[in-house]
Amino acid sequence: MTPRERFAANLRRARRRAGVSQEELGALCDLHRTEISLLERAGREPRLATMVKLASALGADLAELCAGISWQPESGRFTVEPAPAEDAGRG
């Protein structure tokens, strides 16, 4: 799993928990629904401003959207924990 894939799973879970559609989230963030879809499918890496908008609109914080993703300076690599089982197999 890549950092982008883990972010996608975290975003999808937070959106579903908030009970909003991709279209509704897009409207709250001034983003198009297709942008939300791309982010949830790991088709695009989010910019910082986009991450802040998403977190605010979902009542979450950036740490929640980035959960399970860390950088290891010693090895120069990301460490990505698997997403919770509830997200397994969802696209």
Mean pLDDT in consecutive groups of 10 residues from the start of the chain, 91 residues: 96 96 97 96 96 96 95 95 70 43
Q: In angstroms, what is the C-alpha Rg of the chain?
A: 13
> What is the model's pLDDT at position 3?
96
**Contact status, residue 10 vs residue 64, Cβ threshold 8 Å:** yes
pLDDT (0 to 100) of residue 91: 43
- Identify the pLDDT of residue 85: 79
For residue 46, give the amino acid letter. Answer: P
What pTM was computed for the model?
0.89
Tell me how long the chain is.
91
Question: What local confidence, expressed as pLDDT, does residue 84 receive?
Answer: 84
Give the separation between CA 15 and CA 36, rounded to whole angstroms: 10
* Architecture in CATH of 3-83: Orthogonal Bundle (1.10)
pLDDT at residue 90 in the model: 47
